[in-house]
Structure 1
Amino acid sequence: MKASLCLVLATLFWSGNFIVGQAAVASMTALDLTYWRWTLAAVPLLLLAHFVEKPDWHAVLRRWPVLLLLSVLGMSAYTLLLYGALGHTSAVNAALITAANPALIVVMAIVLLGERTTRLGWLGICLGLLGVLLVLTRGELQRALSFSVNLGEVMMIGAIIVWGLYTIIARRLGVPAITATAVQVAMAAVTLAPFALALDARLPETPSEAWSLAYIVVFPSLGAYLFWNIALKTTPPGTAGNYLNLIVVFTAVITLALGTPLTPVQIVGGLLVIAGVLLTGRNGQPKPAAAATSSRATSSRAV
C-alpha cells in the first residue's frame, strides 16, 4: 500500500473521531468513552506492537516511569479533555483548535527547551494563533478581553497544552512508536479503572452508542496508528506531518455532508491555522529541530 494512501486513511480515521465523538458524548460521558476506548484497544495494540515492531519488552518496561507519565498526559488527560470539549463545541471547532498543535509545540519547545525558530516560524505561529483566536471568539475578538469563550473551546485549549507537554517529554523516549502507544494505552486502562468503577463508567446501552465506541476503538485507536506507522517507514516525519492538515479538511467535509454548514469565521480561521502550520513546520525552523518536533507532533491527532 502506498505511503500517501496510508497517511490519508490515518487522517480520515482521526477526523472521524471528532465527528463520532461529538455524537457519542450526547449520551455517554467523557470518562465512559475514554476508559472503554483504551480498555478495548489495549490488547489489540499490544499484539500489533509485538508482531509489527518486535520490541525488547524488558527494555521497554524499564522506561515505565516516563511511559506512565506520558500515559496520564496523552492517553487519559488529553482524551478526557477532548471528549469533554466535544460536549460543548462543534467537531469543526475542536479540529481547528487541535490543528494549531504543531505551532504550540514549537512555542513550548522555545520556552521550555530554549530552542529557536526563524522569522517564518514566528509568522507561522502568529497566523496559527490568530486563526484559533478567531474560532474561539467567533470573529468577535473583543470577546477574548471579556473572557466570553465557550467552555468546550477552553477545554480544547487545555487539551492541546497537555498534548504539547506530552510531545516534548516523548521526543527522546527511544521506544518504537506503536509499542510506546500500546504500553501507554494499557497503563491508561489500568489507571483509569478505579475512577471508572467509582463513577460507574458504563458500556454502550444502545446500538448507536455501541457503533460509536466500535468506530473509536477500531479506526482512530487501531487502524490509524497502523497506517500512520507503515507510512513513516518510507516517509520523512516532516512530510507526514503536513498530512495532518487533512484532519481539518476531512472534518469540515464530513460536517458539510451531514448537513451542518461552515461559518465564514471557521473557514478563515481554518485557512490561517493551516497556513501557520505549513510555515512553522516546513520553513519556520532549522531542520534538526523540525524533524524532532514533527516526529512527535505527528501523533497529536491520534487520540
Structure 2
Amino acid sequence: MRAAIYLIFANLFWAGNFVVGQAAVKTMEPLQLTFWRWALAAVPLLVLAQAVERPDWRAVLRHWRVLLLLSVLGMSGYTLLLYSALQHTSALNASLVTAANPAVIVVLSVVLLRERPRPLGWAGIGLGLAGVLLVLSGGDVERLLTFSLGAGELLIVAAITVWALYTIIARRLSLPAITATAVQVAMAALVLAPVALAAGAGLPATASGNWSLAYIAVFPSLGSYLLWNLALKRTSAANAGNYLNLIAVFTAVITVLLGQPITVPQVLGGVLVISGVLLTGAGRAPQPVSPSNPTSSPASASGLPWFRRR
C-alpha cells in the first residue's frame, strides 16, 4: 500500500512538470528553464545519492564519457525539446505523445540492436502509433496526408526519439540509479552554464516564473526520484513501470481542473496509446527497471530500464 502511494505521487509530480512547464515557458525561454531546473537540482541530488547509495565516486567518474553523452541526450536535449514543444502545443498533447515512448524505444531497439519483439509487442506498437497519430492530427487525417503538423507536435516527436536513444544507451550502464542521475544532472548544469550565461538566462523576473521554477526543481526533479526509489524497495520494477501510465491520466485530470477543454481525439488517442504501451510490455520478456532520469527518469511501462518523463 505504501509503495502504491509513493508511485502515485511520483507520477503526479511528473505530470505536473508538463502543466507547470507549459505555464513557465510563457515567461521563460526553454534554455533558461532547462538550465535552472538542473542547476537547482544538482546539489540536492548529489547529496541524496551519497546518503542513499553511498557510491564510489571515483569508479562512477570512470564512466564520464557515457555519462556526458547521456546528459546531453536525456537532460539537455530531451528537456530543451520538451519545453520548446510546450511553447506550441498543450501539456495534454505532449503527455499523450510522450506516453508512446516505450513503443518508440522498442522500434529503435529493433533497428539498432536487432531485438525481436513478440507478435503481441508488434500489435502494441501499432496501437500506440495509431493513438499518437490521432493525437497529433486532432482527428484530421488530411493533416497527416499533407504533413501539416505544427511545430509543437514535431518537437515532441523529436523529444521522445532523443529519449529513446538515451534509453537504449543507458540500458548498458551499470551504475546506481540516483548516482547516475545526479552526475548527469550536474554535467547538464555545467555544460549549459556558459550558454545560459551568454544568452543572459537569469532567474525569472516574475513571481509566477519563480514559483514555476521552484515546483519543477523540487517536485519532478527531486521528489519524484526519491519517491520512485522508495517504492522500488517495496515493490517490483515491473509493477512500478505500470504506474507510469498515470502521467497522461494525471495531466488530463489537471487540464480539466484548470478548465481547459479535452477533445474526443485526445481521449481516444490516449486510450490507444496506453493500451499499446501495455501490449508492448506484454510482448517483451521481463527486464529489470531502473528509474534513471523522467524523465533521466523512471523505467518505462514496457519493462525497459532507464525510461523517464521528465
TM-score by length of 2: 0.94
Q: Which residue number in structure 2 is paired with residue 5 of structure 1?
A: 5
Contact 1:96 1:132 in 2 (8 A): yes
Contact 2:170 2:306 in 1 (8 A): no
Contact 1:102 1:297 in 2 (8 A): no
SS in 2 for 1:147: coil
Q: 1:297 to 1:270 in 2, by over 3 A?
A: farther
Distance in 1 (CA, whole Å) between partners of 2:58 and 2:305 is 27
Q: Following superposition of structure 1 onto structure 2, how do residues 1-303 of structure 1 map, counting pairs within 5 Å?
A: 2-281=2-281, 283-288=282-287, 294=302, 296-297=304-305, 299-301=307-309, 303=310
Amino acid at match of 1:300: R
Contact 1:256 1:262 in 2 (8 A): yes
Shift of 1:141: 1.9
Q: Which residue number in structure 1 is paired with residue 296 of structure 2?
A: none
Shift of 1:206: 1.1
Contact 2:121 2:283 in 1 (8 A): yes
Distance in 1 (CA, whole Å) between partners of 2:284 and 2:246 is 22
**Identical residues among aligned pairs (%):** 65
Contact 2:288 2:303 in 1 (8 A): no
Contact 2:105 2:167 in 1 (8 A): yes
Structure 1: 4+ residue segments shifted above 6 A: 289-293
Shift of 1:238: 1.9
Shift of 1:235: 2.2
Distance in 2 (CA, whole Å) between partners of 1:284 and 1:147 is 31
Distance in 1 (CA, whole Å) between partners of 2:218 and 2:303 is 23
Distance in 1 (CA, whole Å) between partners of 2:134 and 2:288 is 29
**Cα shift readout 1:205-249 (whole Å, capped 9, x = no counterpart):** 111001000000000000001111111223222211110100000
- Equivalent residues, number: 301
Distance in 2 (CA, whole Å) between partners of 1:59 and 1:159 is 31
Shift of 1:290: 8.8
Contact 1:105 1:297 in 2 (8 A): no
Shift of 1:297: 4.7
**Cα shift readout 1:128-182 (whole Å, capped 9, x = no counterpart):** 0100001111111221121100101110000000000000000021111100000
SS in 2 for 1:243: helix
**Cα shift readout 1:173-194 (whole Å, capped 9, x = no counterpart):** 1111100000000000000011
Shift of 1:295: 5.6
Q: 1:118 to 1:290 in 2, by over 3 A?
A: farther
Contact 2:167 2:306 in 1 (8 A): no
Contact 1:78 1:160 in 2 (8 A): yes
Q: 1:288 to 1:202 in 2, by over 3 A?
A: closer
Distance in 2 (CA, whole Å) between partners of 1:37 and 1:198 is 18
Which deviates more from structure 2 when the two are superposed, residues 73-82 or residues 109-118? Answer: 109-118
Contact 2:171 2:306 in 1 (8 A): no
**Cα shift readout 1:68-110 (whole Å, capped 9, x = no counterpart):** 0000000000000000000000000000000000111111111
Where structure 2 has 5 or more consecutive residues not aligned to the other structure, the ranges are: 291-298
SS in 1 for 2:54: coil
Question: Comparing both structures, which one devotes a greater share of its residues to helix?
Answer: 1
Contact 2:289 2:304 in 1 (8 A): no
Distance in 1 (CA, whole Å) between partners of 2:306 and 2:56 is 24
Higher relative contact order (CA 8 A, sep 6+): 1
